[in-house]
């Protein structure tokens, strides 16, 4: 064990770290991912539009087959009592819509796919 003193924003902390050798490090379990992976669109399908934060879908303003322009509001996501507009990053056609109004989504969840 090694002991260190750390200064974080003007506050001093004492931290004790365990020193491990290569064999112990290899046997240690890998940490779990903290955020879910975004569901990418299959090759040739288009660009997946993913949730930037967890929340609830208030409205879905497009359907599969709709043509959209860059900056057009695709859907509204409520997070922490605020309404966040999910906008089209480019011109295209909506290939599929993965959510419905009232759905709860996590960060990185696929909301729709633009072709």
Average pLDDT for 73-83: 94
Cα–Cα distance list, 53 to 40, 94, 97, 102 (Å): 16, 21, 18, 15
Domain residues for the domain of 95 are: 47-114
> Which CATH number belongs to the domain containing residue 92 in this structure?
2.40.50.100
What mean pLDDT, rounded, does the chain reach?
82
Tokens of 5: 């003193």
Number of domains within the chain:
1
pLDDT of residue 25: 55
Classify residue 42 by its DSSP letter: P
The model's pLDDT over 20-46, given as tens digits with 9 standing for 90+, comes to 776 655 555 554 444 444 444 444 478
Q: Are 112 and 98 in contact (CB under 8 A)?
A: yes
Would residue 3 count as lying in a domain? no
**CA 102/CA 114 separation, integer angstroms:** 22
């Amino acid at each position: 064990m090694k002991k260190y003193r750390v200064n974080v924003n003007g506050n001093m902390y004492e931290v004790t770290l365990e020193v491990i050798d290569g064999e112990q490090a290899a046997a240690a379990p890998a940490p779990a991912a903290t955020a879910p992976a975004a569901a990418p669109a299959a090759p040739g399908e288009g660009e997946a539009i993913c949730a930037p934060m967890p929340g609830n879908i208030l409205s879905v303003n497009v359907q599969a087959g709709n043509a959209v322009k860059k900056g057009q509001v695709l859907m509204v996501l409520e997070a922490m009592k605020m309404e966040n507009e999910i906008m089209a990053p480019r011109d295209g056609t909506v290939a599929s819509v993965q959510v419905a109004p009232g759905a709860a989504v996590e960060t990185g969840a696929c909301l729709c796919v633009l072709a």
